Each structure stands twice: as structure tokens, then as C-alpha cells.
Structure 1
């Protein structure tokens, strides 16, 4: 039948392009909004991998926009989401908790479009969130830091302040204190996930104050920390996040994997199968495949590996409850002093 129809079209002097366009028009249009650089080797690149998975695995028209704001400016993100919605896709998948507010606003303006926030916590009549529980692997990363530090000083560096980032920091601290209650904690948000200079400077300050293990929740800015740690001749180790950084550089003693690309694919697939629901928060956590896990460098001792396996099992069973709030002070690398968390509000206004 198809060959016969094609022959008629060719005989009439037509091409198959209109037919292909008509078929494409019947497909769902799904757009992925990536606030930062899609090739940042971090959280934003996970979004791009999700887009690639949609293209490869689903029969839909997929597109993406990226590099909207290095500082996750809510006004810029809202404007970009509104512009994307005006193009009329069936679903917009916005990557990162920084899209919570913009999605709440724009989803009300475009009630016929389905909206999803990855790592979000928002819901609505046409809005849901899909969450990869990075706090599970972040907690284990904190335990790893507490078990491997020799100085009993552990650092943390991130760039932006969306809720998932704050929860991840808190979980890391909780895991650290669970295994090493006497450890000193140096934590700082630099205000920019991609700037190698300021993140490298933050690492240098933490190291100067004794940190010999640093956990980074960064994107392109992580390279600045890698470079700084490398200058200390193996005396400082690094813990990464999102993907497995132990396969990238030998300075990493572990990595808190939380592959958000899977959540993006799940949201798009749910739309195509009719399983997507509004007013929902879908979660993927530890013990559900390889999406959330802690990876370890080969030189981690068998004793530490066994202890971490035991702790992971207790998280899955519910015996360990992860704290996702941190009320302590932060370490300001510029001054070398500890400051209340309210201090970062001044940085937000400058960034």
C-alpha cells in the first residue's frame, strides 16, 4: 500500500516531503529548557543527555534551548520559558530547581501545555516535577568524606542556591557527621556554577584552612577546583556529583551520581504513553537501578567500601533518615571567616 501511494505521488510530479511533514506534525512536540551550558560536564549536560535520549528512544519532535543564564536569573528564565511556550510545544521540560518559579508562572499563562520541572518541587493543573534524589548519593558522599579525611576538615563548594542544591549540601553534611561527628565543615556557594576562577579560589581558601576532601556541586566551574586540587600533589581529594567523575580524573575519590537525564526521558515517555499526570512529584532514589549511586575510586579501601555499602542499605531500608536542611554557618573564602547563611543574599544581588 505504501509503495503504491508513493508511486502515485511521484507520477503526479509531487515529492514525499509534504507527506513526511504531515507525519512529523502528528508527533508530540517536546522542548527541553536548559538554563546553563548544555556541554558543561555537569548538571546541565545531564539535561542534554536527556534530550538525546528522547531523540533516540521516542517517536517525537524534540528540541532544546540552553545557555540562558549563568546565574539562573529568574526573570531571564521566565522570559525564555514564555518564549518557548509561545511556539506551542505539547510539553516543556525545564531542567533544575531554579525553574520552579518560572514554571509556576508560565504554566498558568499556557494551560494547554504540559510543564515538567526536573529536580523541582512544584505542582499544578498542568505542572509536575520529576526528581532524582541526589540527596541520597550526596549523603553517601558525605560519609565517604568523613571516612577518608585525614585532617578532619571537609569542604563543599557549589554555585547556585536552588532548593535541590541546598538539600544536597545538607545531605552531604548529614552523612559527614553521621560517620565523623568531630569533622569541621567548610561550605560555600560562589554564585556561579560555571566560573572556573572564583570556584578555584574557593577551593584554595578551603584547602588553606585544612580541607583535604572537597565535594563540588558545580558545572563548568568544577574545572577550577580540579586544577587547584591537582596543585597539591595528591594531598587533597575531590568528590564529584551528577556523573561518575572517578572515570575522569584521579583526584576524585568518589562521585555522588544522580543522573537527571533519566528523569527527563521518563517525563517525555510518560507523555507519549498517556501516563503523565499533573499535580505530581515523581521521585527516583537510591536502590532503583544505577540512576542514583556513589561511585568510588579504585584506591578506596575495602573497609571503607564495606561500610558505605552498609550505610546505603540502611538508606534504602529507611533505617537512616536523611536530613535535607542545614542551619549552620558558611565559610567565606574571601575573608576566611564563618558567616551566617543570610550573608549570601548580598552575593545574589551582585551575581
Structure 2
């Protein structure tokens, strides 16, 4: 377990001129170049933009009792806000928020509420839906894959969104999907990606953290394209990534802290942030994507914003197991 504390200038917006204090729990590594790093970036933005004093705990395994213990450690110091980054914190946050009624709690990508508990959710399923639609338009083999690690609700919703986007543009496509059990295991992701490639996938959507490297290596070896998530991966690996379903989850924690600083934070609600905020949710396409695909994806994006397309997140089809 690693912990850190950073401080900045006082927050003038607070009525008593005291410094806003915000703590964050990250069930993973702050340098995973994915979901956890985005959460940490959101925390440093809280420091830089709001002048808050921040602290964090990272490196916690996503097990409810361990997460609850880390949340208690943060809450015992009585910060103004405790942010639990990731839907895997739902159960632990409900438990610990009830134990500390005077502390405000937020779960990023969560689905839980309480008198002093809210969830702020960046709708990654909307960019995942567009990613699936793009994959359906670009696959040459007619087989498209998906790989994730642990079965948390946001990951399940992202997988469901991707599947329905794929079916929207290519109803005859074969869909291969797995939750392999670990977000950070590169040996596992290499093996799973290789298996999906052997089964015919020429585009694979990955929702991984530090374990993404193994999938990248497998796809590079076989000349298969990857669609990333959370941030734009094309600049790092232009030979592999054809698109990225961006869900800038750093914005969720920052929005929660802004609401608190401005006196607008409320317990008992789920705040949703989707494609209508392009800084938060979008699909980044590589320069190699044909113009007709770009045009179609943009049309579909607007239909989602306008409510003409409802993004379904359900999936009850077959899964690969490892």
C-alpha cells in the first residue's frame, strides 16, 4: 500500500476560507497508464484547480474488506470529501459511509447512494458503443473481440455498450468476450488476446489497466488492431490502436469536488456525464480510419446525444473462460 499527501493554496470559494481537504482511494496503481492513473490525475486537478489539500491510498487489491479498511483509514482523518475511485468500491463505500455520517463520500463510476454518499459516473458505455459501431464497420474477418479483467459494473456496462454498437452496424459479426479475472496481469492478457486472435478476431476492444501491455504485444505480433479505453492510446502505439473509447474518468472526481466547493454537492444522487461533454466522453479514431467510417460514427454520436439511439448495456451471450 502506498500513500501520499500534497497541498496547495487555500480555497477562496469556501465560506470559512479554510482549505478544502479531499482524499482518494485507488484500487490499483497510480501509474497504470489507464483507469487508476486517470483517477489520480483527477485528484491532482482538484489540488491544482481548487487549491485543495489532497491525500490518497493506492495499491489496494479490489477486495471489499481491504477496500473498506483503506476507506476507514482515510475517513478517520475527517477530510471534507473521500473519493473511492472505481465501481469495485460500491460495497465498501456504502459500509464505511454509514460509519462516518459526518464525512462526504463519492464513488467514481459507482452505483450507490446514501445520505452522505453519491456516485459520479462518466458514461464510458457511450464511447464503448461508438467503438463497437466502428469495429463493426471496419472488421474484415467479421469477428470482433473484447477483453477485460474483473467483473465490476462499469466494465460490464462498457462491454454491453460495445456489443450493441457492434450489432448496430454489423449484425452478422461474431463477438468474442471475456472477463479474465485480473486487470494488471500481462501474461494473462497476452494469452487471452492470442486466443481471441486464433479464433478470428481482427479488432479487439480492451478494458484493462496495467495488464494492457500483454494484449498490445500479442496484437502487434499478429497484426491485429486494438481499441483502447479511458484515454487515447494511438500516440503511444500507432501500429496497434485503431481507436480509443475515451472516458476521461478524471473529470468525475473533479466535478464532485467542484460541486462541494460551490455548495452544490448532494448526497443520495448519481451524477451522469456522457457524450454531450466531449471532454469527458468521446471516440478517438486513428488517422488510418476511412472517412466514411468517421462520418458514420459522428452521425451515430449525435443520435445518442439527441436520444434517437438508446445505449443498451445488457449482455447475456456466451463468454470465453480462462
With the shorter chain as reference, the TM-score category is over 0.9
* 1:330 counterpart SS class: coil
Q: Distance in 2 between matches of 1:298 and 1:61?
A: 41
Q: Quick check: which has more Rg, 1 or 2?
A: 1
| Structure 2 CA distance for aligned equivalents of residues 106 and 316 of structure 1 | 36
- Aligned to 2:195, the other structure's residue is in SS state helix
Distance in 1 (CA, whole Å) between partners of 2:97 and 2:105 is 6
Runs of 5+ consecutive residues of structure 1 not aligned to the other structure: 1-19, 335-351
1:166 matched to 2:171? The reply is: no
Equivalences for residues 311-322 of structure 1 within 5 A: 311-322=300-311
* Structure with higher helix content: 1
Name the SS of the counterpart of 1:135 in structure 2.
helix
1:1-351 matches, cutoff 5 A: 26-69=18-61, 72-232=62-222, 234=223, 236-250=224-238, 251-332=240-321, 334=322
Deviation at 1:26, TM superposition (A): 2.8
Measured after TM superposition, the shift of residue 59 of structure 1 is 2.1
* CA distance in 1: counterparts of 2:173 and 2:21, whole angstroms: 50
Distance 1:202 1:151 in 2: 18
TM-score by length of 1: 0.86
- What CA deviation, in whole Å up to 9, does each residue of 1:95-147 have, x standing for no partner? 01111110100000000000000001111000000010001000000011111
Gaps of 5+ in 2: 1-8
Per-residue Cα deviation, 1:169-208 (whole angstroms, up to 9, x for no partner)? 0000000001000100110011110110101100000000
CA RMSD of aligned residues (A): 1.6
Number of residues of Structure 1 aligned to a counterpart in Structure 2: 309
Structure 1 residues 55-112: Cα deviation after superposition (integer angstroms, max 9, x where no partner)? 111122111111111xx11111111111211122121011011111101000000000
3-state SS of paired residue (1:216): strand
TM-score (norm 2): 0.93
